[in-house]
Chain A
Amino acid sequence: MTAFKDAGHLFRVAAVFLLGIAVFLGLRGFLVPKSFGQYGHYRGNAIGDIAAVPLHYAGHEACEGCHADVLEKKKDGRHARVNCEACHGPLASHADDPTSVQPAKLDTAVLCAKCHEANAAKPKSFPQVATADHSTGLPCDTCHQPHSPAITAGGTK
């Protein structure tokens, strides 16, 4: 059995390897988050983290809970399907605390032009005007009621 006469060396090397593997497994268990690999090769809890980002836009359902009168005005007009925050801006803070956070008053001379300023690339069926000719800088709400903008015989509708 001369082949194994120095077998002690092999056992010592094997022991070093085993120790190395044990340290590696221990460290990996400690450092890799528990949820890693839950759904795939990524941290499963990242999904929850990304879903927990705070809102800035409350969504029109939140507005309609209190502002039923505006909804009634909008119902039959051309802006019926334009959501509140599309014009009024991000107001989740107002929805959370309606009394102390008040939305700013809008300047219709600037706001309406963002959509309705004439541009060759806009669909032809979309109502658009060259504001300089159409209203000579007057705010649009002088004639149009933004929540239902069509002008009818009996005033704005």
Chain B
Amino acid sequence: MNLTRRHLLLLLPAAGVAWKYVLAGTPESSPNYRLADHWWGMLIDLSKCIGCGNCVRACQAENDVPDGYFRTWVERYHVTDYDIENPVVDSPDGGKKGFPPAKDASGKNFFVPKLCNHCADSPCTQVCPVGATFISPDGVVLVDKQYCLGCRYCVQACPYGCRFINPKTNTAEKCTLCYHRITKGLTTACCENCPTGARQLADLKNPNDPIHEFLKTHSVQVLKPSMATHAKVYYNQLDGSVR
């Protein structure tokens, strides 16, 4: 090929631009996903939850959660005589194998699935001494396994008890809102496998997401609003006895 000086001069800026991309490193695994376009949360409709434990099993299969530890779990509440200050709560093996028949069918009985609330002002990220846990720009509270020391500050700081130390890696672990799925346009494993649609992933920055209509037309609550964590897991028909 006969390269003239004129061609070389034209090619140089192009090579410069290309080199800039080489320096920038490999692009993210989901090229069409823009962090700034999303703000993730979840909607849990308690009137639809049947306590089957599908979400717990799906979460453990999807995220290799060790036995006896939970990124999501289901609690069963039993409230007698409308004494909402003293509910009886059980969650055998996190509800993974479903629930045995209720001991007392009187009063109020209902299920409450729980998971990380992906707080917009999360106490757990504020206490991390090394910058291993953080709120991603799209509103998901994540843990960087490479940076985590396993100091347990965050486990203690979470008001919802959503974190644990993985006994294999000795690092903090929690619900990632199936970050590897939602960045690919899929829903979370728990929402995908919820047979009644009680759990729904919600993108609060997407104006077409049904969450907006739902929040407008229902009485929706978050857990422990007094903690001012600005939780983004919204519960429909939440009973006052739920802690």
**How many inter-chain contacts with C-beta < 8 Å in the A-B complex?**
135
Contacts of A57 on B, CB cut-off 8 Å? 58, 61-62, 181, 186, 189, 192-193
Contacts of B215 on A, CB cut-off 8 Å? none
**Which residue from A42, A54, A60, A114 sits with its C-beta under 8 Å from B131?**
A42
Contacts of A153 on B, CB cut-off 8 Å? none
Range of interface residues on chain A?
35 or more
Taking chain B's interface residues, is the majority helix, strand, or loop, or is none over half, making it mixed?
loop
Q: How far, in whole Å, are A46 and B219 apart by their CA atoms in the complex?
A: 37
A58 to chain B, nearest CB (A): 9
Tell me, yes or no, whether B205 is within 8 Å of chain A by CB: no
Question: For chain A residues 44-86, which have a beta carbon within 8 Å of chain B?
Answer: 46-57, 59-61, 79, 81-83, 85-86
Verify B99–A119 contact, CB threshold 8 A: yes
Verify A56–B109 contact, CB threshold 8 A: no
A residues sitting closer than 8 Å to B (CB atoms) are 36, 39-43, 46-57, 59-61, 79, 81-83, 85-87, 89-90, 114-115, 117-123, 126, 128
19 examples of A-B residue contacts, CB within 8 angstroms: A40-B135, A42-B133, A46-B142, A46-B146, A48-B28, A50-B144, A50-B180, A52-B180, A53-B176, A53-B180, A54-B180, A55-B62, A59-B187, A59-B192, A60-B192, A119-B101, A119-B102, A121-B109, A121-B110
B residues sitting closer than 8 Å to A (CB atoms) are 28-30, 33, 35, 47-54, 58, 61-63, 76-78, 98-99, 101-102, 105, 109-111, 131-137, 142, 144-147, 176, 179-181, 183-184, 186-187, 189, 192-197
